[in-house]
Structures are given as C-alpha cells and as structure tokens.
Amino acid sequence: MDHIDTHLATASQDLKYSLAIRASLALGKTHLNKYYDMTNHSEVYQIAMSEFLGIQFVYYIYNYNVT
C-alpha cells in the first residue's frame, strides 16, 4: 500500500506526464488514502491486527526462549 502511495505521489509530480494524467494520479492518491484510513478504523481490521501481533509475540517467546 505504501509503495502504491509513493508511486502515485511521485508520478503526479513528474512533468513528463500531461496535466490531466498528473491530476488523475493525484486524485487516485487522495482516494487511496481515504479508503486506507477507513480500513484502519474498521473493527475487523483492528481485530485482525491484534491477532497478528499476538501471533508474533508467541513466535518471539517460543523461538528466543524468553522467560
């Protein structure tokens, strides 16, 4: 997601593209960020991320013998 955002930001400033293309890229970046922000605030995403962090914690404890 960050790679796409960076590419859209860079391409929207690149003068080799016409003004219409650059405006479209900037608009696409705005919409992408809008929906990405909405995803961050969804309950399903927050539950999935908390589960993922829990799995990472268990993996760390198991593989590095932390007591």
- Digit-by-digit pLDDT tens for the chain (67 residues) are 788 889 999 999 999 999 999 999 999 999 998 988 888 788 887 787 777 777 777 777 777 766 5
The pLDDT, as a whole number, for residue 10 is 92
Q: Are 7 and 28 in contact (CB under 8 A)?
A: no
The pLDDT, as a whole number, for residue 15 is 94
Rounded CA-CA distance 67/59 in Å is 13
Written in H, E and C, the secondary structure of the chain is: CHHHHHHHHHHHHCCCCCHHHHHHHHHHHHHHHHHHHHHHCCHHHHHHHHHHHHHHHHHHHHHHCCC
The pLDDT, as a whole number, for residue 67 is 56
The pLDDT, as a whole number, for residue 24 is 95
Counted residue by residue, the chain has a size of 67
